[in-house]
Structure 1
């Protein structure tokens, strides 16, 4: 009998013990926080993800659950140079080791290269996918070469007209001096 695993309520230990794999393709709109980051929301955008579980020997020789997660999406964001839309690829390829409780996870996460999470019988795999994609968003999304040159200055015709109408203060002083000489 094959065991079926559900991404919304994943039994991490059972998933790793079975050496199971699951994958999916979900609309970006299902990932609320990621969807809020987009400049042009679209129903066509998808997130492709896959997860594989396995057991590895831990430091004490006991079996430890691990999961390999990959996820990818291409989303429109605001280019911080030209302020136009730029498609940004978000690509996740990460290993996670699972431990029994938060205290162990907090202590071991700082010292280990892999991410350490708490194993549970109802782990939210889609929540993890969204968290990892959000962390992949660049601080300043931008085009390699913007389609339109970035406008690096601003001109206000009313301001320039007002500047042109003001008399030169030195001309006013010169006029005062010539009036005194008379």
Structure 2
């Protein structure tokens, strides 16, 4: 019997799981456009190492019904903008995810609420690159920052003009108007 060849950009998840197949590879970070957009300005995604990935298919019996599973392993090194010093900060992402596939969106939504596992609706063709990019985006830190910034931030002295700048009190102007109108 001829072994099937699976395309990671148009993966037939059901057949992949049924065959207990596996794939692995790497993609340039620039090919994952949404991830590349998160790059620090001084370290674009074209300078990052390739995103590595592997996926294995599995079929499990749940209540007498066969369900497709994908087991992902993803590795990436990205450069984001530190929110304290605004310089590039490196983040290494190493993910392992198991995703259960069910027959439709309604079942996926229902099961996803109560389940700790990731549940998706089974599609005829799944773009593995898009799924991997989604998982990487979800793994990015909300506020990227260095443990200790490479250069300390300049702290303004208390007597700097920034703190000395006096703004007119809007209520003082209102009080002056009231005094002016009450004296007539």
Return the TM-score normalized by structure 2. 0.81
Aligned to 2:53: 49
What is the Cα deviation at residue 155 of structure 1? 8.8
1:151-172: CA deviation from partner (whole Å, max 9, x where unpaired): 3437997x47x97xxxxxxxxx
Aligned to 1:178: none
Aligned to 1:15: 16
| Distance (whole Å) between structure 2 residues aligned to residue 154 and residue 25 of structure 1 | 50
Aligned to 2:116: 113
1:83-105: CA deviation from partner (whole Å, max 9, x where unpaired): 11111112221110000110100
What is the Cα deviation at residue 44 of structure 1? 3.8
Name which one, 1 or 2, has greater alpha-carbon Rg: 1
Aligned to 1:2: 3
Aligned to 2:87: 84
Aligned to 2:139: 136
| Distance (whole Å) between structure 1 residues aligned to residue 5 and residue 122 of structure 2 | 18
Number of equivalent positions: 160
What is the Cα deviation at residue 41 of structure 1? 1.0
8 Å CA contact 2:45, 2:78 repeated in 1: no
| Distance (whole Å) between structure 2 residues aligned to residue 44 and residue 154 of structure 1 | 38
Return the TM-score normalized by structure 1. 0.81
Q: Unmatched 5+ residue regions in structure 1?
A: 164-182
Aligned to 1:36: 37
8 Å CA contact 2:22, 2:56 repeated in 1: yes
Aligned match for 1:147, one of 143, 146, 150: 150
1:30-85: CA deviation from partner (whole Å, max 9, x where unpaired): 01100000012142421111110001111x22211111011111111111121111
How has the CA–CA distance of structure 1 residues 154 and 50 changed in structure 2, closer, same or farther, with 3 Å as cutoff? Answer: farther
SS in 2 for 1:91: strand
